[in-house]
């Protein structure tokens, strides 16, 4: 819940202007009220659409109806959204969204050709009590229950340990790599070999100082960034660190 429409548009323009020639794909998840302004700002940039896109922080799975305060997939598509967050930790733990509800959102997003960024992750008590794998298994099984193996290719997964979000505490690269490896194993086991290509992002107090140590690890394909993405300079620093890590891995962008 940051930035007016004008502030969001200025942010996108500043970010696009500061990008290097080699651009890591970036998605801006704007508040609903700022989406039209962000869309227009993205259209004005010279950055290719597949490299600078935008999406929504949430939506509801029904097509229409008496759901006061909610937004549908069609309403997002009308403004050119290509992505939507599903199951972000704050939606789960502040607003009480269930695994079942999140699964319906993921299924609806895929049906409407929106790319769901499907968020999963454990709380501190769950990790401390040894329930990490149980939590991730449940979240993945229920959250992806509405899609097929073919449709999984339209999904991005984001592992965000709740205990590391907004706390300044970040999972160690080893912890993150271990969790990502387990998630990958679950996906391949449930959907087949093609699941090896599904991007898995890390989220949780990511900043320009720690991003390199995270995205350089095997199996960590990018980052879902919160507070550190609110300033143009910080997001550009994150982007440049990801470029260096990708080059070090021998990847092409």
Q: Tens-of-pLDDT digits for all 253 residues of the chain?
A: 999 999 999 999 999 999 987 889 999 999 999 999 999 999 999 888 889 999 999 999 999 999 999 999 999 999 999 999 999 999 999 999 999 999 999 999 999 999 999 999 999 999 999 999 999 999 999 999 999 999 999 999 999 999 988 777 788 999 999 999 999 999 999 999 999 999 999 998 999 999 999 999 999 999 999 999 999 999 999 999 999 888 887 876 5
pTM of the model: 0.96
Q: Name which of 134, 205, 217, 121 is nearest 162 in CA terms.
A: 121
Residues forming beta bridges with residue 26, ordered by sequence position? 52
Q: Angle at CA 186, nearest 5°, toward 184 and 187?
A: 65
111 is catalytic: no
* pLDDT value, residue 19: 92
* pLDDT value, residue 253: 59
Q: Are strands 115-120 and 83-86 parallel, antiparallel or unpaired?
A: parallel
Q: What is d(CA 185, CA 177) in angstroms, rounded to the nearest whole number?
A: 12
174 is catalytic: no
CB 4 within 8 A of CB 34: yes
Identify the active-site residue in 88, 122, 177, 239.
88
CB 238 within 8 A of CB 228: yes
* pLDDT value, residue 169: 79
Instruction: List, in order of start, the domains of the chain with CATH numbers.
Output: 5-248 (3.20.20.70)
Identify the active-site residue in 90, 142, 160, 177.
160
Q: Name which of 94, 87, 93 is nearest 108 in CA terms.
A: 87
């Amino acid at each position: 819940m940051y930035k007016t429409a004008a502030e969001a548009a200025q942010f996108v323009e500043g970010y696009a202007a500061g990008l290097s020639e080699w651009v890591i794909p970036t998605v801006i998840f704007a508040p609903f009220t700022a989406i039209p302004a962000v869309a227009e700002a993205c259209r004005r940039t010279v950055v290719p659409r597949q490299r600078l896109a935008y999406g929504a922080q949430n939506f509801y799975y029904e097509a229409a109806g008496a759901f006061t305060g909610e937004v549908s997939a069609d309403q997002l598509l009308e403004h050119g959204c290509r992505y939507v967050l599903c199951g972000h930790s704050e939606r789960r733990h502040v607003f009480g969204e269930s695994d079942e509800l999140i699964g319906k959102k993921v299924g609806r997003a895929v049906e409407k050709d929106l790319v769901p960024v499907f968020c999963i992750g454990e709380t501190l008590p769950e990790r401390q009590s040894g329930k990490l794998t149980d939590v991730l298994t449940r979240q993945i099984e229920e959250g992806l229950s509405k899609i097929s193996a073919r449709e999984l290719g339209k999904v991005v997964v984001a592992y965000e340990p709740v205990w590391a979000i907004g706390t300044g505490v970040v999972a160690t690269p080893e912890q993150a790599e271990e969790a990502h490896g387990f998630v990958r194993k679950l996906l391949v086991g449930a959907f087949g070999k093609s699941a090896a290509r599904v991007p898995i992002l890390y989220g949780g107090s990511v900043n320009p100082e720690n991003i390199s140590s995270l995205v350089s690890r095997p199996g960590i394909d990018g980052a879902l960034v919160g507070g550190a993405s609110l300033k143009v300079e910080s997001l550009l620093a994150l982007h440049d660190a990801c470029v260096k890590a990708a080059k070090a891995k021998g990847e092409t962008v």
